[in-house]
């Protein structure tokens, strides 16, 4: 279960959440054309070109990393889930691309001064307490060469204020269902997700939460981590406003 003091999730929470069930519903939530488009957005925001070296933290089953490799980038992906990484490697082999997939914790990275760019996509930042979240940013900075870029895609917490919580979403795949129940904790400033999986006659429950950060928080943390400038965008790289569903941050080392 989550930490009762600060709400941060444990590694076991994360591993339970990002399991085979996550892959099972993946193409329903993010169909191929959506992933193609998102990879293109990331390519542009990070100013990637053929031969650019890029690191995805929390790469999951490789739906973005493998597409960037197809575009000509030299890609590495890190994730804590061996199940998701196995799927990522199989997909890379099917696509005929070479991606360095590494099992590990984003709070402690094996690379130093190696990449032109790094990114955390699709709400992959904020799982830990504030100290460890900032540690992730410091590790990301250390993995980048001077002049490198870091991109973070996160829900816009101002936009979430429009909703009356809890909010429930249901995803179906054939005879299986995924029920996601979102709620906000105003004291810990975290969003909480309770996920119920109904699959093959079995019911499983998992929990995940992430810290809600605003742009001023990102500027403070990223400058402390060693980045010089920080920019804000809305979803797909558009202008960021209070009504934007996403906050996309791009920081320059």
Residue boundaries of the structural domains of the chain:
11-154+214-252
| Residues 229-238: tens digit of each pLDDT | 999 999 999 9
Give, in order, the Cα–Cα distances in Å from 173 to each of 26, 60, 184.
Answer: 10, 19, 27
The CATH number, out of the four listed (3.30.1160.10, 3.40.50.150, 3.90.1150.10, 3.40.50.11740), of the domain defined by the range 11-154+214-252: 3.40.50.150
Q: How many CB atoms lie within 10 A of CB 129?
A: 18
Whether residue 64 contacts residue 95, with contact meaning beta carbons closer than 8 Å, is answered with: no
Please give the backbone phi and psi of residue 62, each rounded to the nearest 5 degrees, phi first: 80, 15
6 — pLDDT class (breaks 50, 70, 90): low
Structure tokens at 15: 């591993």
| Residues 103-130: tens digit of each pLDDT | 999 999 999 999 999 999 999 999 999 9
Q: How buried is 253 (Cβ within 10 angstroms: 0-12 exposed, 13-18 middle, 19+ buried)?
A: buried
Q: How far from chain centre, in Å, is Cα 93?
A: 23
- d(CA 196, CA 194) in angstroms, rounded, equals 7
């Amino acid at each position: 279960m989550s930490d009762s003091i600060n709400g941060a999730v444990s590694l076991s929470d994360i591993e339970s959440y990002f399991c085979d069930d996550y892959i099972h519903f993946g193409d329903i939530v993010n169909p191929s054309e959506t992933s193609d488009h998102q990879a293109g957005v990331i390519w542009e925001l990070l100013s990637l070109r053929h031969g650019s070296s890029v690191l995805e933290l929390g790469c999951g089953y490789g739906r973005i990393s493998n597409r960037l490799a197809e575009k000509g980038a030299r890609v590495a992906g890190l994730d804590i889930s061996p199940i998701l990484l196995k799927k990522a490697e199989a997909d890379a082999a099917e696509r005929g691309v070479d991606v360095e997939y590494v099992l590990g914790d984003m709070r402690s990275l094996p690379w130093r001064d190696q990449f032109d760019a790094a990114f955390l996509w699709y709400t992959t930042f904020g799982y830990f307490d504030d100290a460890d979240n900032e540690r992730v940013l410091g590790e990301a900075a250390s993995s980048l060469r001077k002049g490198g870029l870091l991109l973070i895609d996160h829900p816009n917490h101002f936009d979430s204020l429009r909703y009356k919580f809890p909010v429930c979403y249901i995803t179906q795949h054939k005879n299986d269902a995924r029920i996601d129940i979102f709620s906000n904790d105003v004291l810990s400033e975290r969003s909480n997700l309770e996920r119920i999986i109904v699959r093959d006659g079995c019911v499983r429950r998992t929990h995940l939460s992430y810290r809600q950060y605003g742009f001023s928080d990102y500027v403070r943390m990223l400058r402390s981590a060693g980045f010089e400038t920080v920019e804000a965008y809305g979803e797909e790289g558009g202008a960021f406003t209070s009504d934007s569903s996403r906050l996309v941050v791009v920081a320059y080392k």
